């Protein structure tokens, strides 16, 4: 505690005898006064000085101390003062020190005076040389209260308070608070709830928070003013008082009755909506009936394109076709599909990579004579697909380049559709959807792609065909690399992604390309050649090295040209794992024990949020882990509100990342937290990372979330066996999604705070995780799902199903709120192709032709 003397400046050291002091001790002065001495300045709580009784210099003198005219004590002058010995006194004593009583450490001004035993005032020696009979000082308070009322949450007043001891510099919680209403005390409590944020800021125990539940008798339709005071100091907290106006009892009863009516209507409306959705026809499925659906789709696509107004330009498009010993029938069909394009300003550059076939050469020359837009480039020796493609790129003159295999087919409006998209958006890289066509002309296996998904591209070249790129950009990144033959297009796309901004990469969500499926083709067998797998591994590894990930390890998934990345991160940001629960002691204990036993990471802690548990087992669980160094128990005695429970814990326990974990999720991978963190740390704009969750029978429960299906959102690949690759192997690949479930979700604290956390007002139970992900995404952050972390989830074991009759009204409200808040993205999830149906059948059912899909 510092004490500041106002009467004269001074420093914080003891004074020694000066020449003036020596003069004071001359013979004449001794004759005048029997007592000699001088007071030093105040240092902290203590006043010091010296005094000698000239009549008895061998005995210790004493002086009286007065504060505000009140004698507060006497000081014996028996402390050693080496400076007195230099004057010839026979003893080294004479010094004194006296602590000012704590009751004067109250923040007010006071007057200090010291007197010899005969009442003569002792002079204070100031630094300026003045001698003063008294000094004025203003002290800090011995104890200070610092507290804040955050506001009203639900039916409670929340905030925090700490008590600081200015003598020791320590701050503590556990302050007693009195609540007064209109001046009258209505309750008292101890502020000891955990507030990690306050504990860190004040450098004290985090048990400094409070949540005072307002008594029911004050919820009567009148306005009340509540003030909060720390006792025994009787200090009012900051932001107090707070005014609250509750509806009257009669009005509340009417509102509850009206809510029951609305809930009943909502329940009926929901049932009718589900029945209508069940009766609506679907356009087809990916696995069956696709050919008939596709024929209707392609006819409709041609009609739709023909009705469009003229494009705002006709840039030349160079279509490059490396060729080596193709099936002549398929090759001629491929050229014909180019010739039939509705867009006319193209050139087809066919590079014969030393096929040494007179028939093939003659065929190409015939087509070139018939159409001057077709050019033949002949290689003298076979050098592979990269070299052949590079030869075409060197000869290309177009503003854009489209890549085309020698036996595939373009849809008649393919180039026109791509050019229109490029001109209207300014995109520099464009890719479309594709399907396969067999030898009998049957369409199958549509590859309906997401919008630009860099994380998915690291796992596999999901872009494939049709790819169209601005030629200037291709020249900037350089030619295809022969060392990556077999994955040369994957390597090219990764290099393009390093140069081209994501907002200039466009997915054209139309089926524009047919990949030829023959008895001997890779398209038919699906088998990956070993050299192609190795080339892909090299391409992804090289790309990661260029990005600075020197220690990342890339491995093939299932002996295919798909890849898993172990990032091997070294950073150790702090993580707070939040697990809400109510009763369910057995399953909560199991969840907790799994985390404690299987977390190979150095910087984490757990917050168990007890939502008013009543069972003996739950209370025993809390007692068992109350003193655990990695576990904090937070009690919240309120109606279940999943969003609020997590928000409270996140606010009170600052960390770099949060993990929101259901108490019915079980983690058994020791590196589970490292997996989630590395995905976030690999990209500074990744805010949320989700895991792959399985039912106890090892069927998939969650592998990402798609929007708009069946209303708001649904889990992908629900019900497929663990190990099933899913649609185009998306169940095997880490990728960006619009949302993941908060049953097991890592969230960057910065992003969580930026968007205001979970919506605890409108989305107390359902869709709060989807809503959080969408608000985070709208703020420029990314959401990633990874299959590398697999956990078991007993879905909704803790709170039951949302579709129980008593919950239907609430669920309907939350459903409608999501439609109003996120309607646009719900209708067009960028990571779920719009050609798929929104009624049901994720990655299976296709939309109706002409329905806007």
How buried is residue 136: exposed, middle or buried, by Cβ count under 10 Å (0-12/13-18/19+)?
Answer: middle
User: Which whole number is the average pLDDT over 669-678?
Assistant: 97
Residue 4 pLDDT greater than 90, yes or no: no
Query: Rounded to whole angstroms, how far apart are CA atoms 653 and 576?
Result: 7
Burial of 52-62, coded b for 16+ CB within 10 Å and e otherwise, reads: bbeeebeebbe
Cβ 584 vs Cβ 798: under 8 Å:
yes
223-254: buried (b, 16+ CB within 10 Å) or exposed (e) per residue?
Answer: ebebbbbbeeeebbbeebbbebebeeeeeeee
How many Å apart are CA 644 and CA 128, to the nearest integer?
A: 62
Mean pLDDT to the nearest integer, 539-552: 96
C-alpha distances in Å from residue 402, one per residue of 327, 389, 434, 491: 22, 11, 14, 16
- Examine domains 3-139 and 143-245 and report if their fold is the same: yes
Is it the case that residue 799 has pLDDT exceeding 50? no
* Residue reference for tokens 């701050």: 171
Lowest mean pLDDT among 69-73, 253-257, 480-484, 492-496: 253-257
3-class DSSP state for residue 220? Answer: coil
Model confidence at 23: pLDDT above 80: no
Alpha-carbon distances of 817 from 210, 424, 554, 712, 771, rounded to whole Å: 31, 33, 43, 10, 10
Q: Which residues contact 560 (CB under 8 A, 6 or more apart)?
A: 528, 533, 729
Judge if the upstream peptide bond of residue 646 is cis by omega within 30 degrees of 0.
no
In this prediction, residue 268 has a pLDDT band, given cuts at 50, 70 and 90, of low
Euclidean distance between CA atoms 565 and 831, whole angstroms: 21
pLDDT digits (tens, 9 = 90+) for 350-394: 999 999 999 999 999 999 999 999 999 999 999 999 999 999 999
- 8 Å CB contact between 655 and 197: no
Q: Given this model, what pLDDT does residue 124 score? A: 85
Q: Considering the chain, what is the average pLDDT of its residues?
A: 87
> How does pLDDT run across 284-302, given as a tens digit for each residue?
677 678 999 999 999 999 9
Q: How confident is the model at residue 557 (pLDDT cuts 50, 70, 90)?
A: very high
Q: Does 472 have pLDDT greater than 60? A: yes
List, in order, residues 6 or more apart from 156 with CB less than 8 Å away. Answer: 211, 212, 213, 214, 638
**What global pTM score does this model have?**
0.74
In tens, the pLDDT along 90-140 reads: 566 788 889 888 777 776 788 899 999 888 899 887 766 778 888 888 766
pLDDT digits (tens, 9 = 90+) for 38-65: 888 677 678 888 888 877 777 888 899 9
Nearest to 417 by CA among 360, 482, 342: 342
Least confident range from 267-271, 639-643, 816-820: namely 267-271
Closest CA to 230 of 177, 187, 184: 177
Question: What confidence tier does 801 reach under pLDDT thresholds 50, 70, 90?
Answer: very low
Q: In terms of Cα–Cα distance, which of 428, 539, 546, 564 is closest to 488? A: 539
The CATH architecture assigned to 143-245 reads Sandwich (2.60)
pLDDT band at 25 (very low <50, low <70, confident <90, very high): very low
* Cβ contact 613:583 at 8 Å: yes
Pairing outcome for strands 46-53 and 782-793: unpaired
* pLDDT band with cut points at 50, 70 and 90 for residue 797: very low
What secondary structure letter does DSSP report for 120?
Answer: P
Across 67-71, 612-616, 680-684, the highest mean pLDDT is recorded for: 680-684
pLDDT: which is higher, 272 or 119:
119
CA-derived radius of gyration, the chain = 40
Strands 170-172 and 207-213, bridge-based pairing: unpaired
Residue 848 DSSP one-character state: P
The model's pLDDT over 627-642, given as tens digits with 9 standing for 90+, comes to 999 999 999 988 889 9
β-pair type (346-352, 317-323): parallel
The alpha-helical segments, DSSP class H, found in 88-241 are 196-202
| pLDDT for the residue numbered 536 | 95
- In the chain, domain spans: 3-139, 143-245, 297-525, 575-844
* pLDDT of 22 over the 70 cut: no
CATH of segment(s) 297-525: 3.90.550.10
Taking only the tens place, the pLDDT of each residue in 502-522 is 999 999 999 999 999 876 555
pLDDT category, 30, cuts 50, 70, 90?
A: very low
Over residues 704-756, the pLDDT tens digits come to 999 998 778 999 999 999 999 999 999 999 999 999 999 999 999 999 999 99
Tell me if the bond preceding 241 is cis, omega within 30° of 0: yes
List the Cα angle 726/729/735 in 5-degree steps.
Answer: 110
| Distance from chain centroid for Cα 670 | 22
For position 14, what pLDDT does the model report? Answer: 38
Query: Regarding predicted confidence, which is higher, 806 or 36?
Result: 36
Q: Any bridge partners for residue 434, and if so which?
A: 447, 513
Confidence of residue 325 (pLDDT cuts 50, 70, 90): very high
Mean pLDDT for 619-627 is 94
HSE at residue 746, side-chain half, CA atoms within 13 A, is 27
- Biggest distance spanned by C-alpha atoms of the chain: 137
| Helix, strand, coil percentages, rounded to 5, for the chain | 30, 30, 40
pLDDT at 234 over 80: yes
Give how far Cα 333 sits from Cα of 327, 340, 378, 441, 514, Å: 10, 10, 20, 11, 11
CATH architecture of the domain with range 3-139: Sandwich (2.60)
Q: What is the dihedral of CA 248, 253, 255, 256, to 10 degrees?
A: 140
Q: What is the Cα–Cα distance from 448 to 284, expressed in whole angstroms?
A: 14
Burial letters 18-36, b for 16+ CB under 10 A, else e: eeebeebbeeeeeeeebbb
CATH topology of domain 575-844: Spore Coat Polysaccharide Biosynthesis Protein SpsA; Chain A (3.90.550)
State both tokens at 429: 């890289």
Give the pLDDT confidence score for residue 259 in this predicted structure.
62
Chain-centroid distance of CA 321 in Å reads 45
Give yes or no for residue 29 having a pLDDT over 60: no
Residues 396-413, mean pLDDT to the nearest whole number: 97
- Give yes or no for residue 257 having a pLDDT over 70: yes
Nearest residue to 431 (alpha-carbon basis) of 446, 452, 445, 416? 452
Band (pLDDT 50/70/90 cuts) for residue 31 is very low
Please report, rounded to a whole number, the percentage of residues in the chain having pLDDT higher than 70. Answer: 86
Beta bridge partners of 783: 688
Write down the H helix ranges in 479-635. Answer: 488-499, 522-525, 530-546, 585-597, 616-625
User: Under DSSP, is residue 695 helix (H, G, I), strand (E, B) or coil?
Assistant: coil
Query: CB of 382 within 8 A of CB of 353?
Result: yes
- In the prediction, which pLDDT does 17 show? 45
d(CA 238, CA 232): 17
């Amino acid at each position: 505690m510092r004490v500041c003397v106002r009467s004269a400046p001074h420093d914080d050291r003891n004074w020694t005898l000066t020449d003036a002091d020596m003069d004071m001790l001359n013979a004449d002065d001794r004759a005048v006064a029997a007592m000699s001495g001088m007071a030093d300045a105040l240092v902290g709580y203590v006043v010091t000085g010296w005094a000698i009784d000239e009549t008895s210099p061998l005995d210790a003198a004493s002086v009286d101390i007065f504060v505000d005219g009140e004698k507060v004590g006497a000081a014996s002058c028996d402390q050693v003062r080496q400076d007195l010995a230099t004057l010839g006194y026979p003893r080294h004593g004479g010094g004194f020190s006296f602590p000012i009583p704590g009751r004067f450490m109250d923040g007010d001004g006071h007057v200090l005076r010291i007197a010899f035993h005969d009442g003569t005032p002792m002079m204070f020696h100031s630094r300026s040389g003045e001698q003063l009979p008294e000094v004025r000082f203003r002290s800090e308070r011995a104890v200070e209260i610092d507290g804040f009322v955050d506001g009203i949450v639900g039916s409670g007043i929340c905030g925090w308070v700490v008590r600081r001891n200015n003598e020791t510099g320590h701050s503590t919680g556990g302050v007693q608070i009195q609540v007064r209403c209109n001046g009258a005390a209505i309750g008292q409590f101890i502020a000891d709830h955990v507030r990690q944020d306050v504990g860190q800021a004040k450098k004290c125990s985090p048990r400094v928070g409070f949540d005072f539940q307002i008594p029911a008798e004050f919820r009567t339709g009148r306005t009340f003013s509540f003030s909060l005071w720390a006792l025994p100091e009787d200090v009012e907290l900051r932001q107090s008082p707070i005014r609250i106006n509750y509806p009257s009892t009669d009005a509340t009863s009417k509102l509850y009755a009206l809510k029951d009516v609305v809930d009943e209507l909502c329940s009926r409306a929901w049932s009718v909506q589900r029945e209508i959705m069940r009766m609506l026809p679907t356009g087809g499925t990916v696995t069956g009936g696709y050919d008939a659906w596709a024929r209707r789709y392609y006819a409709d696509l041609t009609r739709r394109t023909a009705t469009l107004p003229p494009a705002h330009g006709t840039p030349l498009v160079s279509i490059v076709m490396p060729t080596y010993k193709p099936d002549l029938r398929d090759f001629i069909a491929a050229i014909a599909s180019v010739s039939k394009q509705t867009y006319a300003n193209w050139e087809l550059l066919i590079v014969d990579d030393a096929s040494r076939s007179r028939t093939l050469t003659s065929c190409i020359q015939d087509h070139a004579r018939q159409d001057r837009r077709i050019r033949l480039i002949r290689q003298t020796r076979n050098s592979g697909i990269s070299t052949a493609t590079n030869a075409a790129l060197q000869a290309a003159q177009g503003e854009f380049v489209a890549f085309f295999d020698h036996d595939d087919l373009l849809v008649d409006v393919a180039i026109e559709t791509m050019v229109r998209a490029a001109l209207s958006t300014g995109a520099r890289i464009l890719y479309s959807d594709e399907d396969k066509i067999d030898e009998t002309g049957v369409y199958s296996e549509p590859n309906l792609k997401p919008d630009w998904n860099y994380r998915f591209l690291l796992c596999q070249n999901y872009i494939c065909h049709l790819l169209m790129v601005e030629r200037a950009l291709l020249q900037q990144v350089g030619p295809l690399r022969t060392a990556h033959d077999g994955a040369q297009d994957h390597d090219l796309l990764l290099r393009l992604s390093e140069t081209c901004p994501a907002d200039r990469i466009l997915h054209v969500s139309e089926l524009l390309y047919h990949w030829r499926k023959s008895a001997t083709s890779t398209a038919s067998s699906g088998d990956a050649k070993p050299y192609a797998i190795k080339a892909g591994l090299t391409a992804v590894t090289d790309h990661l090295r260029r990005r600075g990930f020197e220690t990342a390890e890339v491995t093939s998934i299932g002996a295919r040209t798909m890849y898993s990345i172990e990032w091997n991160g070294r950073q150790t940001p702090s993580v707070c794992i939040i697990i809400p629960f109510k009763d369910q002691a057995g399953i909560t204990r199991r969840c907790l024990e799994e985390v404690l036993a299987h977390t190979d990471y150095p910087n984490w802690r757990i917050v168990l949020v007890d939502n008013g548990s009543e069972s003996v087992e739950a209370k025993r669980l809390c007692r068992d882990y109350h003193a655990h160094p990695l576990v904090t128990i937070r009690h919240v005695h309120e109606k279940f509100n999943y969003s609020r429970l997590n928000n409270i814990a996140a606010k009170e326990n600052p960390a770099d990342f949060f993990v929101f974990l259901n108490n019915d999720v079980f983690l058994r991978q020791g590196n589970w937290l490292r997996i989630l963190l590395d995905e976030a740390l690999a990209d500074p704009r990744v805010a949320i990372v989700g895991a792959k969750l399985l039912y106890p029978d090892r069927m998939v429960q969650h592998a990402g979330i798609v929007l708009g299906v069946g209303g708001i959102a649904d889990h992908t690949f629900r019900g497929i066996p663990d190990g099933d690759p899913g649609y185009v192997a998306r169940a095997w690949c880490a990728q960006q999604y619009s949302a993941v479930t908060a049953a097991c979700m890592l969230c960057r604290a910065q992003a969580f705070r930026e968007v205001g956390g979970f919506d605890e007002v409108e989305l107390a139970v359902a869709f709060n995780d989807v809503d959080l992900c969408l608000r985070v995404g709208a703020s420029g952050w990314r959401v990633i799902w990874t299959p590398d972390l697999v956990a078991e989830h007993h879905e909704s074991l803790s709170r039951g199903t949302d579709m129980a009759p008593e919950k239907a009204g609430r669920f309907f409200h939350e459903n409608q709120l999501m439609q109003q808040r996120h309607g646009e993205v719900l209708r067009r999830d960028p990571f779920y192709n719009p050609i798929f149906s929104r009624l049901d059948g994720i990655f299976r059912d296709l939309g109706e032709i002409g329905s806007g899909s």
